[in-house]
């Protein structure tokens, strides 16, 4: 918001009142109106983020009573334009346990909470959480998902080898990279090609160029997790802070 305010001040400076003809005044008014609309849109998204984070916390409290001291923060919230955000997508939250104390350190078990959304999850009234399906996974489950994903996206099929490579490397657009070397190259596919594995009773995993696809069997929604989000989740689990 501070950047928007600064931008408005700059525009006002460029169109001073004393030299502002009627046309210029209309231009300034139009720009100011656009800035207000942008500001309102940003505020609406931030409010939805807070609402989603609160609902995620409530879900954890209701479904995981063993978690008695934890931190929950939004890792990724779909940042598309509001008119496009009603389609199926995924919100991710990072959860980490800690020992209660003054100025506690987050040093306990890490988990990721996925909130898979169905079409129409955002409407004129806000978020419809009846259209959100929750999955809580730990680093072991995430590693299993990554191994299954890499097996369908590359020629490498040896699970133990893939686990070692994934622990050391990073998933990038072209494959798994260790430092500057591409250790496992991914297949080159066009945008309309998919390779599928039946991962669990709840989901199928799909490899498509530049993304991890998750097909939810219950809702029949296909959700794509971008490469950046995969990297963020992987680093959360396997990078020491």
Over residues 21-37, mean pLDDT? 48
The predicted pLDDT at position 12 comes to 46
Provide CB contacts within 8 A for 11, sequence distance 6+.
28, 31, 32
**pLDDT-derived band at 26, boundaries 50, 70, 90:** low
The predicted pLDDT at position 27 comes to 52
The predicted pLDDT at position 45 comes to 59
pTM (predicted TM-score) = 0.76
Select from 210, 238, 235, 52 the least CA-distant residue to 140: 238
More confident residue, 182 or 125: 182
**pLDDT-derived band at 198, boundaries 50, 70, 90:** very high
Distance CA 173, CA 167 (A): 17
Distance CA 17, CA 46 (A): 34
Cα separations in angstroms, 134 against 114, 115, 212: 6, 5, 18
For residue 155, give the 3-state DSSP assignment. Answer: coil
pLDDT tens string 72-87: 999 887 544 344 444 6
Over residues 182-198, mean pLDDT? 91
Residue 8 in this model has a pLDDT that exceeds 60:
no
Of the candidate ranges 82-91, 112-121, 163-172, 186-195, the one whose mean pLDDT is the lowest: 82-91
Q: Are strands 221-226 and 211-216 parallel, antiparallel or unpaired?
A: antiparallel
Q: Output the average pLDDT for the chain.
A: 80
The predicted pLDDT at position 212 comes to 87
User: 27-36, 85-94, 127-136, 179-188 — which one is most confidently predicted on average?
Assistant: 179-188
Q: What is the DSSP letter of 117?
A: E
The predicted pLDDT at position 99 comes to 94
């Amino acid at each position: 918001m501070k950047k928007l305010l600064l931008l408005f001040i700059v525009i006002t400076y460029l169109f001073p009142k004393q030299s502002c003809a009627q046309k210029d005044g209309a231009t300034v008014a139009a720009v100011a109106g656009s800035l207000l609309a942008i500001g309102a849109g940003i505020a609406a998204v931030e409010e939805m983020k807070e609402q989603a984070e609160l609902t995620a916390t409530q879900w954890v409290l209701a479904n995981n009573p063993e978690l008695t001291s934890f931190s929950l923060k939004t890792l990724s919230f779909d940042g598309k334009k509001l008119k496009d955000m009603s389609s199926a997508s995924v919100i991710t939250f990072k959860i980490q346990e800690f020992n209660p104390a003054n100025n506690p350190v987050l040093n306990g078990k890490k988990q990721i909470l996925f909130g898979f959304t169905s079409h129409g999850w955002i409407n004129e009234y806000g978020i419809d959480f009846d259209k959100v399906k929750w999955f809580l996974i730990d680093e072991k489950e995430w590693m299993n998902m990554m191994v299954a994903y890499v097996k369908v996206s590359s020629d490498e099929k040896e699970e133990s080898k893939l686990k070692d490579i994934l622990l050391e490397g990073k998933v990038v657009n072209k494959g798994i990279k260790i430092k500057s070397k591409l250790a496992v190259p991914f297949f080159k596919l066009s945008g309309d090609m998919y390779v599928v594995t039946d991962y669990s009773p709840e989901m199928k995993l799909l490899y498509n160029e530049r993304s991890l696809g998750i097909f939810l069997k219950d809702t029949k929604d296909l959700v794509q997790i971008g490469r950046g989000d995969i990297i963020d989740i992987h680093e959360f689990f396997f990078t020491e802070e």
